[in-house]
Amino acid sequence: MTRIYVGDIMHQGTVSVPAETSVAEAIALMQQHRIHAIVVVDGPGYLAGIISQTDCLRAWGAGSDYHEVMRGPVSAVMTRSVVTCMPDMQLERAIRLINRNHIHRLVVVEERNDGRFWPVGVLSMSDIVRAIEAGQIGREVIGDA
């Protein structure tokens, strides 16, 4: 059986914003790129978190003022504990991570010399479905996960 790795099917590159970006700007970027989440980075560009449509809905649903949330920084509503993987992780293992954590995507990172993580891509459920449709991965990969 051929091994398939995250790097084989992930979306290369990320749409990212600095942590001080307003929620309104982040939502506009999601709409522009037709995505459901954006990677949040710190000043040098290292992974700081992720903001998803779900994070925004959760903030509004918690009774926060809509306009206040929209003007506020993404750092106020983002998910800080991001589940990540590396491009050389076997796809079956990545699918298990997605399933066990009840999430829709993994941020794909590379570790830098200082031990911090640099986002290099995203592996989403959509990427996995596209790979199945294209015949890149078969039932055995999904079954093993």
CATH of the domain at 66: 3.10.580.10
The reply to whether 48 falls in a domain is yes
The reply to whether 1 falls in a domain is no
The length of the chain is 145
So what's the pLDDT on residue 59? 85
Residue 145 binned pLDDT confidence (cut-offs 50, 70, 90): low
The reply to whether 30 falls in a domain is yes
**Domain range spanning residue 98?**
6-144
Count of structural domains within the chain: 1
The answer, yes or no, to whether residue 144 has pLDDT greater than 60, is no
More confident residue, 3 or 49: 49
Section 68-93 average pLDDT: 95
Q: Give the C-alpha separation, 3 to 15, whole Å.
A: 28
